[in-house]
Amino acid sequence: MNFVVSSSALLNRLQLVSKVVNSKNTLPILDNFLLKLEDGVLKITASDLETTLTTDITPDVVDGEGMIAIDAKKILEILKEFPEQPLTFQVDMDSFQVEIKSEKGLFSLVGQNGEDFPQATQLKADQVNRIDLLPEILFSGITSTLFATADDELRPVMNGILVEISPDNMTFVASDAHKLVRYIRKDANAESEASFILPKKPAGILKNIVTKADNELTLEFDDKNAVFSFPGFYLVCRLVEGNYPSYNSVIPTENPNRLTVDRVELYNTLKRVSIFSNQASNLVKLGITGNQLSISAQDIDYSIAAHESLNCQYDGDEMTIGFKSLFLLEILSNIGTEEVNVEMSDPTRAGIVLPKDNENEDEDILMLLMPMMINN
């Protein structure tokens, strides 16, 4: 098989796909990209057995068909060094010898038999759930929730994003047991109710590639795998198995204490004050009286303390509540509105952070943070 392709176009595609390749693989063939030439289209695949991503590119000149596995690191390194130019790939399908002809030179390497590359899993046709959605929904859903996922070997379900589809809406949920994010989109509807848990790695990759999609993308899944596809990209990933904890039951409904505050001002204040918090616990205290929100932190070991107040609108009882500043900062930086509403019940129960006056009416974002136990 032979083909001629633009060096920068090929590099661009390979870089997107390369995020799937693990730095260390138990199966040596997974260090490779699979190149498959068929019907005048070159398909490029990378896999770590859990996630398999395929993209395609149309070469300028095509001769023959076939497939070959090429060392991913080598091909990426060499492509990065070429200025934009057409490259001619000549592959000997018997010896797997690959020759790359550039304007001025010849680079030759030996590939491996493409037949040895593991095949992506097929979904079970009788169990498939399907939904078509706008790329922006998937992008926002993942971006808003990914930061809240856990790193917990003992509870693998918490390391992924729960995705629920229903005739009314689509919901993304992530939590590490300290913070929780629920992102609902009313403009995505499925025929029936179903859910799956998307692992972190494919979620991160999807976040990058969905920006390349122009039109709707298709999501299909059964109980073991999910497929995300749109023109030019095809991603199959194994899902996290297990039951996600019932997240709705931990969202407090009675929250009589309501605070409205400027998001950026709160963020900046927290950033300053938290420098003086204890570096192990990162505890900051939020004290609210009248329309004053005071933020304080201290580190007894170094005899340092900080305090700052800002104006807010508050409706509720005077209270002091402690949060881990890192978590609160993460939450505030993942909300886009000018102001946020914070709803609380008491110092040992979760505080809920909501965007105020969200322009996107189809969007419903709820972020929740458990406090730290402070003894006043």
Partner 1 sequence: MQRSIVHMDLDSFFVSVERLQNRRLKNFPVIVGGGSDRGVVSACSYEARKFGVHSAMPIKLAKQLCPDAAYIRGDMDAYTRYSRLVTDIIAEDAPVYEKASIDEHYLDITGMDKFFGNLKWTKELRQKVIRESGLPISFGLSVNKTVSKMATNESKPNGEMQVDEKHVQSFIHPLSIQKMPMIGKKTFQVLRSMGVADIGTLSRIPPEMLMNLMGKSGLQLWNKANGIDLSPVRQYSERKSIGSEHTFDVDSMDISGMRDLLAGMVEKLAYKIRKDGWVTSVVTVKIRYANFDTHSMQRKIAYTTFDHELIRVSHDLFDTLYSRRMRIRLIGVKFSGLVRGVQQLSLFEDSSRMAELYLAMDNIRKLYGKKAIRRALSFH
Residue 19 binds partner 1 (CB under 8 A): no
Member of 4, 29, 49, 250 binding partner 1 (CB under 8 A): 250
Closest CA to 141 of 121, 126, 161, 124: 161
Residue 374 binds partner 1 (CB under 8 A): yes
How far the first Cα of the chain sits from its last, in Å, is 75
Half-sphere exposure (Cβ direction) of 141: Cα atoms closer than 13 Å: 28
Angle at 215 between CA 212 and CA 221, to 5 degrees: 85
Task: CB nearer to partner 1: give 122 or 348.
Answer: 348
Task: CB nearer to partner 1: give 125 or 154.
Answer: 154
Q: How far is the CB of 238 from partner 1 (least distance, A)?
A: 25
Owner of token pair 């303390």: 305
Residue 278 binds partner 1 (CB under 8 A): yes
Structural contact between residues 133 and 216, judged by C-beta atoms closer than 8 angstroms: yes
Q: How far is the CB of 245 from partner 1 (least distance, A)?
A: 5
Task: CB nearer to partner 1: give 192 or 281.
Answer: 281
Structural contact between residues 109 and 71, judged by C-beta atoms closer than 8 angstroms: yes
Task: CB nearer to partner 1: give 263 or 324.
Answer: 324
Helix runs in 82-166, H state only: 135-146
- Residues for the chain: how many in total? 376
The per-type count for the chain, helices as H runs and strands as E runs, is 6, 27
Q: How many residues bind partner 1 (CB under 8 A)?
A: 25
Rg (CA), the chain: 25
* Residue 233: C-alpha distances to residues 5, 28, 153 (Å): 18, 24, 31
The stretch near partner 1 (CB under 8 A) out of 4-12, 23-31, 92-100, 273-281 is: 273-281
Residue 324 binds partner 1 (CB under 8 A): yes
CA–CA dist 51, 345 (Å, integer)? 42
Task: CB nearer to partner 1: give 224 or 307.
Answer: 307
Task: CB nearer to partner 1: give 252 or 336.
Answer: 252
Residue 182 binds partner 1 (CB under 8 A): no
Residue 253 binds partner 1 (CB under 8 A): no
Residue 26 binds partner 1 (CB under 8 A): no
Residue 375 binds partner 1 (CB under 8 A): yes
Paired residues of 129 in beta bridges: 221
Member of 153, 300, 357, 361 binding partner 1 (CB under 8 A): 300
CA–CA dist 50, 134 (Å, integer)? 25
Residue 125 binds partner 1 (CB under 8 A): no
Its sign, for the CA torsion 221, 226, 228, 233, is: negative
Residue type, 79: L
Owner of token pair 């095949």: 119
Q: How far is the CB of 20 from partner 1 (least distance, A)?
A: 32
Member of 51, 54, 140, 175 binding partner 1 (CB under 8 A): 175
Task: CB nearer to partner 1: give 108 or 281.
Answer: 281
Residue 280 binds partner 1 (CB under 8 A): yes
Q: Which residues of the shown chain bind partner 1 in the complex (CB under 8 A)?
A: 175, 177-178, 180, 245, 250, 278, 280-281, 283, 299-301, 322, 324, 348-350, 368, 370-375
